[in-house]
Amino acid sequence: MAVLAHAEAGEIAARLRTISLPGHQDLREPENGLVMLRGRVGGDGAPFNLGEATVSRAAVRLASGEVGFGYTLGRNSEKARLIALCDALVQSRDFGAAVERDVIAPLREQLMVRRKQQAEETAATKVDFYTMVRGEG
Amino acid sequence: MYVAVKGGERAIENAHRLLANARRGDQSVAEVSLDQISEQLGLAVDRVMSEGSLYDRELAALAIKQARGDLIEAIFLVRAFRATLPRFGASEPVDTGAMRVQRRVSSTFKDIPGGQILGPTFDYTHRLLDPSLAQGFVPEAPAVAEASTAPTPRVTDILGRDGLIESSPQAEDGASVGDLTREPLNFPADRDLRLQNLARGDEGFLLAMGYSTQRGYGRNHPFAGEIRFGEVEVEFAAEDVGFAVPLGSIELTECQMVNQFKGSATEAPCFTRGYGLAFGQSERKTMSMALVDRALRARELGEEALAPAQDEEFVLSHSDNVQATGFVEHLKLPHYVDFQSELGLLRKLRKEFAEASPDADAPDAMKEAAE
């Protein structure tokens, strides 16, 4: 589900359109709020409160009973609802495989491409001390 | 004598209309969009998120636009906004060791595992104004190299393996995490509250405080053990779901300062540490924060605490720019009643003074001016 939190609402919606969806309803209306983000002293010590982030959340129930929850950074309640819907669908015997194949897998692929590009650009700025050549004399 | 203040409503309304026009500027010039602010003034957005203590790029960009680029005003707007939303809870502590690093430098070791990665930095630029940026600049595409899969352990972890540096203090079982947005700050404050205060503290104030320690006011011999910037994943243990759900990722900057030794008859000497963490790419902020965090540990480490940066109450009470600007700027609001009472007292004192020393000049002209 982490893949969905990294995707845009429009991308998730577009992928979901390729599946003929079962009936579903909001178990909880999407809601915006805050989550206090925590760090650790020294990176690995006791936790402390760093500052908050906006978060949107939703819950969706399929007609067949599966309940899905959607949480995402930001204030896009439609995205939270889409994540909740996907979360419910992956639990369903009839739709689980399709959502994994047609929604999550392609978005994961897209995320990996983006991350690889960034990692390669970052790698080009790595300092290689061994390539320095001492001047003659 | 108090003179009733009435009739300002229309002036205020018109002043705000004028402000809206001043904010927009010359309307023949294209309006700046939130995307433009977020993408092209990214470090201003990072600062507003850090000190506004709210991670939301779009809101920070809106605040900067509304505040006409006045970042402290923008921080004020963001802080006010956060008070309008319910809090769902607190995240799991983020793991900066697992950061997808976009920049990572150490001034203590040349050959750190994972390497020195410069990333997008102003370092080593010549600080010459670049006229080509004035219009229509298209940057060359970034260079690429094969991405490394090697882990990038924290420099402090490497030193820690040999016991050369103190380990991070761990939480006691069941200890709650202090939150100064819920409880007023009391002194002495624990490290968690101090770090929360510094994380939202004014960059300029922390910079000056950190600088003061370097100049000798509470010297603590710092080395930038490591500065890293990149993306970390955020997880939230949602009660309704029953387990930690991924929320997405945020960008953070972390600074590990390595400082002078401590040791005792029973403990081998080792380096001490100061820590800085902030939203976005905020290097100056996290370095300053780490210097001040270390300075504020003077008491705990048995050091003489004589310098301003070591004075917890002084630092933590004056670091917040929203509080500070509120108190400084309130001076421009009407104080007619206060001032009238001061004026009355002053007149009385001057009258007494004149009566007690009849030879002294009675400056009538000044008395008139005061009226």
What is the 3-class SS of B198-212, one letter each residue?
HHCCCHHHHHHHHHH
The tokens describing A78, both together, are 């439609």
Q: What is the pLDDT of residue B186?
A: 93
- Residue B260 forms part of a structural domain: yes
| CA distance to partner chain B, nearest, from residue A136 (Å) | 23
3-state secondary structure of A70: strand
Residue in the structure block whose two tokens are 């007494």:
B352
Mutation pick from A11, A29, A35 vs chain B, by most beta carbons of B within 10 Å, is A35
Q: What is the pLDDT of residue A135?
A: 66
Q: Are residues B114 and B50 in the same domain?
A: no
Q: What is the pLDDT of residue A133?
A: 60
Q: What is the pLDDT of residue B369?
A: 46
Q: Are residues B249 and B307 in the same domain?
A: yes
Q: Which of B87, B100, B116 sits opposite A36 (nearest CB)?
A: B87
Q: Are residues B60 and B164 in the same domain?
A: no
Q: How far is CA B147 from CA B226, B229, B249, B366, in A?
A: 21, 17, 20, 76
* Interchain proximity A45–B170, CB inside 8 Å: yes
- Residue B63 forms part of a structural domain: yes
What are the residues facing B233 on neighbouring strands? B249
Q: How far is CA A76 from CA A73, A79, A113, B24, in A?
A: 8, 5, 24, 27
Q: Are residues B254 and B110 in the same domain?
A: yes
Q: Are residues B76 and B111 in the same domain?
A: no
ipTM of the complex: 0.93
Residue ranges of alpha helices (H) inside A2-135 are: 2-6, 9-16, 77-90, 96-99, 105-123
Give the domain range for residue B313.
96-120+149-168+183-319
Q: Are residues B275 and B215 in the same domain?
A: yes
Whole-number Å distance between alpha carbons of A32 and A58: 9
Q: Which helix (H) or strand (E) holds B348?
A: helix B336-356
Whole-number Å distance between alpha carbons of B175 and B168: 16
Q: Are residues B197 and B51 in the same domain?
A: no
Is residue A34 within 8 Å of A74, Cβ to Cβ? no
Residue A82 pLDDT greater than 50, yes or no: yes
Listed by number, the residues of chain A in 15-74 with a beta carbon closer than 8 Å to a beta carbon of chain B are 31-55, 57, 59, 69, 71-74
Residue A130 sits at the chain B interface (C-beta within 8 Å): no
Indicate the pLDDT class of residue B130, thresholds 50, 70 and 90. Answer: very high
Q: Based on the structure, what is the number of domains in chain B?
A: 2
Q: What is the pLDDT of residue B368?
A: 47
DSSP B247-315: EEEEEEEEEEEEEEEE--SSS--EEEEEEEEEESS-HHHHHHHHHHHHHTTTTTTT----SGGG-HHHH
Q: Name the DSSP class of A101.
A: I
Residue B370 pLDDT greater than 50, yes or no: no
Q: Which of A39, A51, A119 sits opposite B200 (nearest CB)?
A: A51
Q: How far is CA A128 from CA A77, B86, B103, B226, in A?
A: 46, 49, 14, 17
Q: Are residues B235 and B110 in the same domain?
A: yes
- Residue B300 forms part of a structural domain: yes
Q: Name the DSSP class of B360.
A: S
Q: Are residues B115 and B60 in the same domain?
A: no
Whole-number Å distance between alpha carbons of B52 and B59: 10
| Mean pLDDT across chain B | 92
Whole-number Å distance between alpha carbons of B319 and B208: 11
Cβ burial of A13 (10 Å; 0-12, 13-18, 19+) is: middle
User: Do you find a cis peptide bond into B113, omega within 30 degrees of 0?
Assistant: no
Is residue B74 within 8 Å of B67, Cβ to Cβ? yes
Going from N- to C-terminal start, the domains of chain A cover 2-110
Residue A126 sits at the chain B interface (C-beta within 8 Å): yes
- Residue B192 forms part of a structural domain: yes
- Residue B3 forms part of a structural domain: no
Q: Are residues B71 and B109 in the same domain?
A: no
Contacts of A1 in chain B (CB under 8 A): 245-246
Domain end, chosen from B277, B298, B319, is at B319
| Mean pLDDT across chain A | 93
Residue with more model confidence, A84 or B114:
A84
Indicate the pLDDT class of residue B239, thresholds 50, 70 and 90. Answer: confident
> Which residue on chain B is closest to A70 by alpha carbon?
B245
- Residue B357 forms part of a structural domain: no
What is the number of other CB atoms lying within 10 angstroms of the CB of residue A98?
17
Q: What is the pLDDT of residue B1?
A: 45
Q: Per-residue b/e over B6-43, b at no fewer than 16 CB within 10 Å?
A: eeeeeeeeeeeeeeeeeeeeeeeeeebebeebbeebbe
Q: Are residues B41 and B188 in the same domain?
A: no
* Interchain proximity B117–A54, CB inside 8 Å: no
Q: Are residues B267 and B196 in the same domain?
A: yes
